[in-house]
Amino acid sequence: MTENIKMAELLLPDIKNTPDYYENMYPERNLPEGARVVRVAPSPTGYLHLGTLFAALVNRITATSTGGVFFTRIEDTDKKREVEGGIEDIIDGLNRFGITIDEGFTVGSTQSGEYGPYKQSMRAEIYQTYVKKLIIDGLAYPCFCTAEELEQVRAEQEKNKIRTGYHGEYAKHRNITFEQAKALIDAGKPYVIRLKSPGNEQNRIVFEDGIKGKIEMPENDEDFVLLKSDGIPTYHFAHAIDDHLMHTTHVIRGDEWISSVPKHIQLFRLLGFKPPKFAHVAPIMKLDNGAKRKISKRKDPEAAVRFFAEQGYESENVIEYLMTIASSDFEDWRRANPTVSYKDFKFNLKKMSVSGALYDENKLLDVSKNRIALLKSYEVYEKLTAWAKEFDEPFFKLLTANPEYTKSILAIDRDNAPKPRKDLAKWNEAKEFYAYFYDETFVPCYCLPEHIDKADAAAFLSEYIKIYDEKDDRQEWFAKIKQIAPTLNFAAETKEYKANPDNYKGHAGDLSTVLRIAITGRTNTPDLCSIMQVLGKEECIKRIENTIKNLEV
Ligand code: GLU
């Protein structure tokens, strides 16, 4: 037995397979030319993060638009950071946003697919098999340095202004012999397994990033850790093995990984794998006191995707908004194709922002308003009540006590309107928005605009109540207001008023404002005639009479 084989047997005696075993187990995928195999690989360390959702969306549409595969893989090599239920939160969260998953963890904690297991903690033996091969090839070795020793080296490097890290002469165990390793192991010393990097810092590696274009970096010469002392791999090593065996064609991930690409490409080459294409997605940014910064888990509530659900953003509207961030030409496409699914958009990674798009809440509200304006009242009813059921139980009860009544409210300026009103952007606005339709939430207000006299308003309402007919259509409804106007010295037509403002107290529009305030307590609402029809005669008369009483005191 050569020295390397002895070392490999010493360190990984239980590993009996060779890489060929896995290479045969996970053959090439049978996909059409050009199909991209992509994935998200979240760590179950908490809730679904906006950045993960964004990366998942970009991967999903890449797979969809090329007829490829989108899978998930759970990167749970850091057990200390794992939270209970973390996997389900992420996977179910993606599903809720309509990000369907072809393979891997598809729903909750169930896995499916031919290339699994899709959870790194279940793949220890696979990683160890490849590490064993690297040891035999003289490309990996055990390192017994303690955390304190490594810290000392780092301090010395910093003091002498030398690049920090386990490289060159600082790689203490790089040439450790079998005998030395055996003695330390026999003495019970813990160890990690490191790569014996053949790289040279003076050499450059060049690669074409799918988003950022050509990138050049120094070759990796650091003997970084492959397997930690518990036999679990580091991210770098697990990434190379998994994306090779799962036949990922494009690694589309957060750009915090870009500086690690030299390590990754080196690993792929040393293991004899063809490297995938890399595309690094810039994070979503936020303006904070005029400066751009990454959205932060600590500072920004919207970092957790749950925030959008709580606020009552429709998940498809959030996706729609993220698409505008993902691709600079999405909005033009959307204008030309207002009603089709975003999934039909021909996505191209090259159209992504290189430096990070800004999260813009107003834009999200705007996109959401436009999308909600396309819905029919029954759809709004379903979505709104589903939201309220989860997040606002009293409001849910209010909305569903009389579903037909609520639907007729939601139909105003919507179902038959040539241009539906764009108002609601998220469901948590609805309670306040529709408050005046429900006795429980209606707050009367008797405050008039400054230029309208209380006595005139009361006189108008008293006249109006006499001729009000709940069956009037919009024209008839307004004609009645105009009819009363001159009797109170208000102009029936706005243009008459504008021509001679001194001759009038106001115009018919002002009187309709009086009526609006009486009925809704507000000066700005959707079509008042429709509102009155929905509220019904009895309620309208009650509100008008109450207002008259309040104006007269
Ligand atoms: N677990 C890594 C992360 O969450 C995955 C990066 C990758 O997609 O390769 O950042």
User: 462-494 pLDDT, tens per residue?
Assistant: 999 999 999 999 999 999 999 999 999 999 999
Reduce the DSSP state of residue 503 to 3 states and report it: helix
Position 36 confidence tier, pLDDT thresholds 50, 70, 90: very high
Q: Is the peptide bond before 301 cis (omega within 30 degrees of 0)?
A: no
The mean per-residue pLDDT over the stretch 158-167 comes to 95
329 beta partners = none
Q: State how far the Cα of 396 lies from the Cα of 393, in Å rounded to an integer.
A: 5
CA of 281 to the centre of ligand 1 (A): 11
CA of 143 to the centre of ligand 1 (A): 26
Residue pair 236/264 in contact (Cβ under 8 Å)? The answer is yes
CA of 42 to the centre of ligand 1 (A): 6
From the CB of 41, is ligand 1 less than 6 Å away?
Answer: yes
Find all residues with CB under 8 Å of 29, minimum gap 6, and list them.
37, 69, 247
Residue pair 446/550 in contact (Cβ under 8 Å)? The answer is yes
Reduce the DSSP state of residue 417 to 3 states and report it: coil
| Cα-based angle 388, 93, 337 (whole degrees, multiple of 5) | 80
Which of 495, 494, 515, 491 shows the shortest CA–CA distance to 503? 491
CA of 252 to the centre of ligand 1 (A): 9
CA of 257 to the centre of ligand 1 (A): 8
The mean per-residue pLDDT over the stretch 356-380 comes to 94
> Ligand 1, from 91, 257, 281: best to mutate by most atoms within 8 Å of Cβ?
257
Find all residues with CB under 8 Å of 161, minimum gap 6, and list them.
none
From the CB of 120, is ligand 1 less than 6 Å away?
Answer: no
State yes or no: pLDDT of 349 exceeds 70: yes
Reduce the DSSP state of residue 264 to 3 states and report it: helix
Amino acid letter for position 357:
A
Tell me the DSSP string of 276-342. -EEEEEPPPEEEETTEEEE--TTT-GGGBTHHHHHHT--HHHHHHHHHHHH-TTHHHHHHHSSSS-G
Q: Chain centroid to CA 321: how far?
A: 9
Q: Any idea of the CA torsion for 233, 236, 242, 245, to the nearest 10 degrees?
A: -110
Q: State how far the Cα of 62 lies from the Cα of 348, in Å rounded to an integer.
A: 8
> Ligand 1, from 47, 235, 246: best to mutate by most atoms within 8 Å of Cβ?
235
167 beta partners = 222
Q: Chain centroid to CA 108: how far?
A: 18
State yes or no: pLDDT of 1 exceeds 80: no
> Ligand 1, from 239, 250, 265, 281: best to mutate by most atoms within 8 Å of Cβ?
239
From the CB of 280, is ligand 1 less than 6 Å away?
Answer: no
Atom of ligand 1 nearest to the CA of 42: 4
Residue whose CA is closest, atom 5 of ligand 1? 41
- Which H or E run contains 506? strand 506-507
Position 85 confidence tier, pLDDT thresholds 50, 70, 90: confident
From the CB of 123, is ligand 1 less than 6 Å away?
Answer: no
CA of 12 to the centre of ligand 1 (A): 27
CA of 256 to the centre of ligand 1 (A): 9
Atom of ligand 1 nearest to the CA of 256: 10
How high is the pLDDT of residue 81? 83
DSSP class of 138: T
Tokens 């569903």, residue located: 400
Percent of the chain clearing pLDDT 90 (strictly above): 92
69 beta partners = 37
Residue pair 69/32 in contact (Cβ under 8 Å)? The answer is no
CA of 254 to the centre of ligand 1 (A): 7
pLDDT in tens, 505-539: 999 999 999 999 999 999 999 999 999 999 999 99
491 beta partners = 507
**Mean pLDDT score of the chain:** 95
From the CB of 254, is ligand 1 less than 6 Å away?
Answer: yes
- Which H or E run contains 277? strand 277-281
Tell me the DSSP string of 158-216. HHTT---SSBGGG-TTTT--HHHHHHHHHTT---EEEE-----TTSEEEEEETTTEEEE
Cα end-to-end span (Å), the chain: 107
CA of 396 to the centre of ligand 1 (A): 39
From the CB of 75, is ligand 1 less than 6 Å away?
Answer: yes
pLDDT in tens, 101-132: 999 999 998 999 999 999 999 999 999 999 99
Q: State how far the Cα of 168 lies from the Cα of 180, in Å rounded to an integer.
A: 20
- Which H or E run contains 291? strand 291-294
Q: State how far the Cα of 156 lies from the Cα of 176, in Å rounded to an integer.
A: 22
Atom of ligand 1 nearest to the CA of 257: 6
> Ligand 1, from 37, 38, 39, 43: best to mutate by most atoms within 8 Å of Cβ?
43
How high is the pLDDT of residue 110? 92
pLDDT in tens, 242-293: 999 999 999 999 999 999 999 999 999 999 999 999 999 999 999 998 899 9
Pairing label, strands 192-195, 225-227 = antiparallel
71 phi, psi to nearest 5 deg: -125, 165
> Ligand 1, from 90, 236, 253: best to mutate by most atoms within 8 Å of Cβ?
253
Q: State how far the Cα of 360 lies from the Cα of 13, in Å rounded to an integer.
A: 55
Q: Chain centroid to CA 501: how far?
A: 54
68 phi, psi to nearest 5 deg: -100, -150
CA of 199 to the centre of ligand 1 (A): 24
Which of 542, 521, 540, 543 shows the shortest CA–CA distance to 529? 540
Q: State how far the Cα of 202 lies from the Cα of 310, in Å rounded to an integer.
A: 52
CA of 40 to the centre of ligand 1 (A): 7
Residue pair 168/197 in contact (Cβ under 8 Å)? The answer is no
Which of 198-207, 249-258, 295-304, 329-338 is the least confident region? 295-304
From the CB of 239, is ligand 1 less than 6 Å away?
Answer: yes
From the CB of 43, is ligand 1 less than 6 Å away?
Answer: yes
Q: State how far the Cα of 358 lies from the Cα of 286, in Å rounded to an integer.
A: 5
CA of 233 to the centre of ligand 1 (A): 14
| Cα-based angle 227, 233, 238 (whole degrees, multiple of 5) | 130
CA of 39 to the centre of ligand 1 (A): 10
Residue whose CA is closest, atom 4 of ligand 1? 42
pTM of the model: 0.89
Atom of ligand 1 nearest to the CA of 252: 8
Percent of the chain clearing pLDDT 70 (strictly above): 100
